[in-house]
Amino acid sequence: MSFSTEIAKRRTFGIISHPDAGKTTLTEKLLMFGGAIQMAGAVKARKASRHATSDWMKIEQERGISVASSVMKFNYRDFEINLLDTPGHQDFSEDTYRVLTAVDSAMMVIDSASGVEAQTEKLMEVCRMRNTPIVTFINKLDREGLEPLDLLTDIEEKLQIECTPMSWPIGMGKSFKGVYNLYKKELNLFKAGAKTNDFDTVKISDLSDPKVDELLGTQADELRDDIELLEGAADPFNLEQFLIGSQTPVFFGSAVNNFGVKELLDAFVELSPSPGPRDAVERTVHPNEKGFSAFCFKIQANMDPAHRDRIAFFRICSGKFKKGMTVRHHRLGKDVKIPNATIFMAQDRAHVEEAYAGDIIGIHNHGTIKIGDTFTTKEALKFTGIPNFAPELFRRIRLKDPMKRKQLHKGLVQLSEEGAVQVFKTLLGGDYILGAVGVLQFDVTVARLNAEYKVDADYVATDFQIARWVTAEDDKKMSEFRRLFESNLSEDADGFLSYLAPSAWKLSYTEEQWPDITFHKTREHI
């Protein structure tokens, strides 16, 4: 198979959703269609084990399991799919955001009873940074939920993306009859509890077809009214608009009943883009270029408790990876040979013989790889779009043995390089404030400080609630700001100045008062 065909058949995506919308259930069904798992429950079991995580050992055990699933590679039809896990629930973290910087498209799952929820809004903000194309699945139609049109309005208003239904539900909850596929002009009839995709599909000429009345009874006219209403209300699908992330095709179904999932997957592989060009500081890199390039978007530590190894996940942006190849680690200015990169299958990992743009490979890391690092065959490149995200939760770290300050510093610098947690050292007093996006990161950090750096530490509360990186063109203004806000200022692990605010109100007040200072939510363009 030719090099460009290999790349064209790849689809690399993540699922964005709020906890309990059905991401795990949907993932499982997608993997079953891809033949990657045979049995329902495999992904579920992993999630159940995640929920039990409270102490470090458990976290570690869970990591052993979850890493194989950080990327799930499977084949479907002629496509090679990389499904990247976007950790939710307690292990929601900056990693979740960063995974989205490594995908070419996303699938959004919405619970029909809840509409758009907080976590989806946050993840969507990240997708918007790169105009990631989004396919939407409205789930749980077998239950009573919000009216479909209200759901679309909710998505459009909260997420600022135009919705274009590809299918339309017929009833919901107890009266759920299935969906009408607007493009294929088919009725997909629902049957609860189906194990496979054995639903009846009935082709119709159009909605006036008497078969519609035969099959749907009194609900036939409801469907006709809905579609008439819809034709005035929603624009037809437009591939270009979808590819720039301004329109999302919407599907309705029920993941647990396997209903609508195959249609979703079929449309997804056909519509969503293959690996596209990516911007680097120097130039735009095209996937079909022969030279290999990749960047690190995630580091996973302690996957094997016996070895305390770490794996750096790289997204290949161009070219082809071959086992044993030598690449340049640009930050260190060194050539490194990669004898055994790992590729992640749904339930397994295997050594990679070769991999292409769009694929994710795992490389063993002995503390020399940082998030954002670039590996290429030769050319020096620095990919953009892998920012640090301002943390949303803060704790002040308390060292129990003051003699261990050096080790604490070392441990925190390393953990922040892995992207596990962000570290801010206050200008006044030199205390360490840790910032995270998910609360579990705090437990993981003290546990790892203890296990790997022999540092005994715990947390005390802090008043800080928001962090923003600050810059100014005018040095005088910055010195003035530094002087007045010294007790709110800190430096992150790379020495960037950050303002820590006690509330959103205080932040916006300070922003207003200091128009010459720029407050950055991500640390990319500083």
We find the least distance from the C-beta atom of residue 28 to ligand G4P, in angstroms, to be: 8
We find the least distance from the C-beta atom of residue 267 to ligand G4P, in angstroms, to be: 18
Find tokens 């820590």 and name the residue.
500
User: Which residue type does 464 have?
Assistant: F
Give the one residue of 12, 14, 17, 178 binding ligand G4P; rule: CB under 6 A.
17
We find the least distance from the C-beta atom of residue 88 to ligand G4P, in angstroms, to be: 6
We find the least distance from the C-beta atom of residue 29 to ligand G4P, in angstroms, to be: 9
Residue 142 and residue 176 in contact, taking contact as beta carbons nearer than 8 Å: yes
Give the one residue of 8, 10, 25, 155 binding ligand G4P; rule: CB under 6 A.
25
CB-nearer residue toward ligand G4P: 41 or 217? 41
We find the least distance from the C-beta atom of residue 161 to ligand G4P, in angstroms, to be: 20
How many residues belong to the site for ligand G4P (CB under 6 A)? Answer: 19
Furthest CA-CA distance within the chain: 83
Q: Residue 498 and residue 503: Cα distance in Å, rounded?
A: 15
Binding of ligand G4P by 69 (CB under 6 A): no
Angle of CA points 295, 281, 277, to nearest 5° = 60
What SS3 state is found at 216?
Answer: helix
Give the one residue of 120, 132, 254, 374 binding ligand G4P; rule: CB under 6 A.
254
Find tokens 């496979």 and name the residue.
196
Binding of ligand G4P by 139 (CB under 6 A): yes
Binding of ligand G4P by 170 (CB under 6 A): no
Give the one residue of 21, 216, 467, 489 binding ligand G4P; rule: CB under 6 A.
21
CB-nearer residue toward ligand G4P: 69 or 462? 69
| Binding track over 86-105 against ligand G4P, x by CB under 6 A | --x-----------------
Binding of ligand G4P by 256 (CB under 6 A): yes
- State the Rg of the chain over Cα: 25
We find the least distance from the C-beta atom of residue 160 to ligand G4P, in angstroms, to be: 23
CB-nearer residue toward ligand G4P: 343 or 437? 437
Span near ligand G4P by CB under 6 A; candidates 15-23, 95-103, 367-375, 466-474: 15-23
Give the one residue of 146, 163, 170, 255 binding ligand G4P; rule: CB under 6 A.
255
Name the token pair of 171.
């009833």
CB-nearer residue toward ligand G4P: 105 or 254? 254
User: Which residue type does 4 have?
Assistant: S
What's the start-to-end Cα distance of the chain, in Å?
43
Residue 118 and residue 250 in contact, taking contact as beta carbons nearer than 8 Å: no
Residues 6+ away with beta carbon under 8 Å from 402: none
Q: Of 194, 202, 188, whose CA–CA distance to 264 is shortest?
A: 188
We find the least distance from the C-beta atom of residue 50 to ligand G4P, in angstroms, to be: 10
Binding of ligand G4P by 142 (CB under 6 A): yes
Give the one residue of 9, 10, 11, 23 binding ligand G4P; rule: CB under 6 A.
23
User: Which residue type does 240 have?
Assistant: E
Span near ligand G4P by CB under 6 A; candidates 140-148, 330-338, 380-388, 401-409: 140-148
Find tokens 């400080």 and name the residue.
449
Span near ligand G4P by CB under 6 A; candidates 17-25, 372-380, 427-435, 515-523: 17-25
Q: Cβ–Cβ contacts within 10 Å for residue 343, how many?
A: 20
CB-nearer residue toward ligand G4P: 80 or 111? 111
C-alpha separations of 319 from 7, 171, 257, 333, 358 in Å: 9, 48, 40, 20, 10
Chain-centroid distance of CA 304 in Å reads 24
Binding of ligand G4P by 22 (CB under 6 A): yes
CB-nearer residue toward ligand G4P: 189 or 427? 189
Give the one residue of 10, 50, 98, 140 binding ligand G4P; rule: CB under 6 A.
140
Name the token pair of 143.
């239950």
Residue 74 host element (H or E): strand 71-76
Q: Residue 52 and residue 160: Cα distance in Å, rounded?
A: 36
Q: Of 87, 111, 29, whose CA–CA distance to 313 is shortest?
A: 87
We find the least distance from the C-beta atom of residue 69 to ligand G4P, in angstroms, to be: 12
C-alpha separations of 101 from 14, 98, 186, 298 in Å: 10, 5, 36, 10
Give contact residues for ligand G4P (rule: CB under 6 A): 17, 19-25, 44, 47, 88, 139-140, 142-143, 254-257
